[in-house]
Amino acid sequence: MSISASQVKELREMSGVGMMECKKALVETNGDLQQALDLLRANSSLKAEKKASRVAADGAVKVAKTASYVSLVEINSETDFAAKDVQFKDFTSAVADHLASSQIDSIEVLNEAFDALRQTLIQSIGENIQLRRLSTLTISDGGSIGSYIHSDGRLAALVSLNVDNQDLAKDIAMHVSATSPSCLTSDDMDPELLAREKAIYIAQAEESGKEAAIMEKMVEGKVKRFLSEVTLVSQAFVKNPDQSIQQLLDDNNASIIDFVRFKVGEGIEVEVKDFATEVAEQLKK
């Protein structure tokens, strides 16, 4: 049976699936548009399940702002090419719009709301798409939340203050994006992380062969320097290195309630293959 270009175009608009897949479905169903759509939907679910096991470490971050809360979400694709696709961008915008109209604190709830649209996008783009993580901060009474998104759309941060000072909150959010602090204060430091760092410093001090009292001071100095580098309030402000974040806060009679930083793909293990290996694997298939 001959399938017209107009039929393929109509099915493409209805399903969001590629032209060749649409034509194949129409051929299999003898040009029946509804049957072809049902076939594509069935195949899309199967293909989406297979693609869902693939690593998605690229993508974008989006910020949704309201008068009472601000949300930060990471949405992943497998490649930078897909992340730049207009369909992927439309999807991320739809997620941000939804977050701006409904306060959601759970990534599971957000995933449930967008599962059908996500699977359609997977079928259309041909890559695994994931809503990976979400953080929603509520604006305190008399407080403010500043946000910063890097120009590439892959790095962002939110900072919640106890005072209404958007400029200050945004400046500190930019600082958080640049420095990636581990915690707000030294009291918030992960004890296991601190213990591992201290063990390294002790081993380094013992190699020096110095007296015990001197080695102890060496370790204390390195621990103090480590905490100043990874603790937000102790860090030197990126816009004024002569001033710490704590000094900046004190000058503005402010304190930080909470902060969050997302960088696309951080913490995801990606298998790196050379080009020759990839070609060899494709030839085997």
The answer to whether residue 95 scores a pLDDT higher than 90 is: yes
pLDDT tens sequence across 154-173: 999 999 999 999 999 999 99
Q: Which CATH class is domain 5-51?
A: mainly alpha
pLDDT tens sequence across 50-61: 444 466 779 999
In CATH terms, the superfamily for domain 58-179+254-263 is: Elongation factor Ts, dimerisation domain (3.30.479.20)
Q: How confident is the model at residue 45 (pLDDT cuts 50, 70, 90)?
A: very low
pTM (two decimals): 0.74
pLDDT tens sequence across 172-188: 999 999 999 999 999 99
DSSP output for 12-81: HHHH---HHHHHHHHHHTTT-HHHHHHHHHHHHHHHHHHHTTS---EEEEEEEE-SSEEEEEEEEESSHH
Only one residue has tokens 């960088």, namely 263
Identical topology for domains 5-51 and 58-179+254-263: no
Q: Any idea where the domains of the chain sit in the sequence?
A: 5-51, 58-179+254-263, 191-227
